[in-house]
């Protein structure tokens, strides 16, 4: 009998084609995530499910699944899934590490440049008809070259950002529980305490996963340690930053600006307090959003579902103890 797989949103066709070669596939065609009652109903009979970070796969949803063997999350982050519960139920969970590293680092770097050099502000200025002449003091920003970049979390994406920063002649500091010798050797990165990183960096970019210990790791105390010129970049998960404290720090001039791809609650609407601040650049969680990368993510998520269902061990398993 053919396996059954549910896909919670349209993903690039190559991923769907791969799944269809091995299984009966049902796709939620809505533009928004499937409502919880639909998710609960659809998960009941399937062997595999391909989920997005917008699907909360918690105890209640997992409790409805009768045959589920694998959850292929179409993201490197998997904080939307109750991993302990999935493990308890013997369900394999996979993610999409590696394939989106460079694309996400590109976006983090683009946000640094956009905020530091007033690119979005400048664009608005021109479009709104404010540009009268070349002015010596118009839209002065912060240099990228020779600035100090503090990277919180020197994993794959942090290192990819360090490589870009090194090419721009930046001084690189990092905070991580491990010593990342490769980054120290290749990019002259220096491991420091979080306090030191916050106190001396011109740009601070967050590249840590969301876990109970990283939740709200940047709050009022941390903002108060930063330089007035500091610019915060976040392309990881919004919940690592206390958003109310960030807004206060931006309003009071405790820090100079922020470039954000992720938010405490997504999506944010046009009335969100962040949208009123001139010194931020906001994008809608598009870190991995390139044609090429999203296709690779689709193939990886689909591939690991198929591998699991055909009795193989997917390389990108998040809870390997399930197969031990
Ligand atoms: C991820 O993969 O975790 C990103 O947030 C979306 O690509």
Check if the beta carbon of residue 18 is closer than 8 Å to that of residue 302: yes
Is residue 266 flagged as an active site residue?
Answer: yes
Q: Same domain for 265 and 305?
A: no
Q: Same domain for 227 and 310?
A: no
For a substitution probing ligand 1, which of 208, 235, 288 has the most ligand atoms within 8 Å of its CB? 288
Q: Tell me, what's the pLDDT at 324?
A: 87
Mean pLDDT by 10-residue block, N- to C-terminus, for the chain (324 residues)? Answer: 95 98 98 98 98 98 98 98 98 98 98 98 98 98 98 98 98 98 98 98 98 98 98 98 98 98 98 97 98 98 98 98 94
Distance 140 CA to ligand 1 centre (A): 33
Check if the beta carbon of residue 57 is closer than 8 Å to that of residue 33: no
Q: Same domain for 200 and 247?
A: yes
Most distant pair of Cα atoms in the chain: their distance: 73
- Find the length of the chain: 324
Ligand 1 pocket residues where CB is under 6 Å: 53, 75-77, 100, 287-288
Q: Same domain for 21 and 59?
A: yes
Please state, in angstroms and as integers, the Cα–Cα distance from residue 49 to each residue in 15, 25, 28, 230, 266, following that order: 13, 9, 11, 42, 22
Name the pTM for this structure.
0.97
Q: Same domain for 35 and 94?
A: yes
Q: Output the domain CATH number for residue 239.
A: 3.40.50.720
Q: Tell me, what's the pLDDT at 1?
A: 77
Is residue 237 flagged as an active site residue?
Answer: yes
Query: Is the previous residue joined to 232 through a cis bond, with omega within 30 degrees of 0?
Result: no
Q: Same domain for 254 and 309?
A: no
Q: Same domain for 145 and 276?
A: yes
Among protein residues, the one whose CA lies closest to atom 1 of ligand 1: 75
Check if the beta carbon of residue 111 is closer than 8 Å to that of residue 281: yes
**Atom of ligand 1 at shortest range from CA of 74:** 2
Q: Same domain for 145 and 263?
A: yes
Distance 295 CA to ligand 1 centre (A): 13
Minimal CA–CA distance to 228: which of 250, 206, 244?
Answer: 250
**Atom of ligand 1 at shortest range from CA of 235:** 5
Please state, in angstroms and as integers, the Cα–Cα distance from residue 12 to each residue in 78, 132, 219, 274, following that order: 20, 45, 37, 32
Is residue 164 flagged as an active site residue?
Answer: no
Q: Same domain for 199 and 258?
A: yes
How many other C-beta atoms are found inside a 10 Å radius of the C-beta of residue 255?
Answer: 21
Q: Which of 237, 243, 294, 307 is catalytic?
A: 237
Helix axes 291-309, 13-22, angle to 10 degrees: 10
User: Residue 85's domain spans which residues?
Assistant: 3-98+291-323
Check if the beta carbon of residue 319 is closer than 8 Å to that of residue 93: yes
Distance 142 CA to ligand 1 centre (A): 28
Distance 289 CA to ligand 1 centre (A): 9
Q: Which of 60, 182, 251, 266 is catalytic?
A: 266
Q: Same domain for 11 and 87?
A: yes
Q: How large is the C-alpha radius of gyration of the chain?
A: 21
Please state, in angstroms and as integers, the Cα–Cα distance from residue 72 to each residue in 80, 130, 177, 193, 320, following that order: 12, 49, 28, 35, 14
Q: Same domain for 85 and 115?
A: no
265, 282, 299 - which closes a domain: 282
Q: Tell me, what's the pLDDT at 259?
A: 99
Structural domain count of the chain: 2
Q: Same domain for 157 and 260?
A: yes
């Amino acid at each position: 009998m053919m396996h059954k797989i549910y896909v919670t949103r349209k993903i690039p066709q190559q991923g769907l084609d791969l799944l269809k070669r091995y299984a009966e596939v049902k796709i939620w065609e809505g533009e928004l995530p499937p409502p919880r009652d639909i998710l609960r109903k659809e998960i009941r009979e399937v062997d595999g499910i391909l989920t997005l970070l917008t699907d909360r796969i918690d105890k209640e949803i997992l409790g409805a699944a009768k045959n589920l063997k694998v959850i292929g999350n179409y993201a490197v982050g998997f904080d939307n899934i109750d991993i302990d519960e999935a493990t308890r139920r013997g369900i394999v969970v996979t993610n999409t590490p590696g394939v989106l590293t460079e694309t996400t680092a590109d976006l983090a770097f683009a946000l640094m440049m956009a905020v530091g050099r007033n690119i979005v502000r400048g664009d608005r200025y021109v479009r709104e008809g404010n540009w009268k002449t070349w002015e010596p003091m118009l839209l002065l920003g912060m240099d990228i070259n020779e600035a100090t970049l503090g990277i919180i979390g020197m994993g794959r994406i942090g290192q990819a950002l360090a490589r870009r920063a090194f090419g721009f002649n930046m001084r690189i500091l990092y905070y991580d529980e491990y010593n990342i010798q490769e980054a120290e050797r290749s990019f002259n990165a220096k491991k420091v305490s979080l306090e030191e990183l916050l106190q001396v960096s011109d740009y601070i970019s967050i590249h840590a996963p969301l876990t109970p210990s990283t939740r709200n790791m940047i709050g009022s105390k941390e903002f108060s340690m930063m330089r007035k010129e500091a610019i915060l970049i976040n392309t990881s998960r919004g919940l690592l930053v206390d958003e109310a404290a960030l807004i206060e720090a931006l309003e009071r001039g405790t820090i100079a600006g922020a470039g954000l791809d992720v938010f405490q609650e997504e999506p944010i609407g046009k009335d969100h307090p962040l949208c009123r601040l001139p010194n931020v650049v906001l994008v809608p969680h598009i870190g991995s959003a390139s044609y090429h990368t999203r296709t690779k993510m689709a193939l990886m998520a689909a591939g690991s579902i198929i591998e699991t269902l055909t009795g193989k061990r997917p390389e990108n398993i998040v809870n390997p103890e399930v197969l031990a």
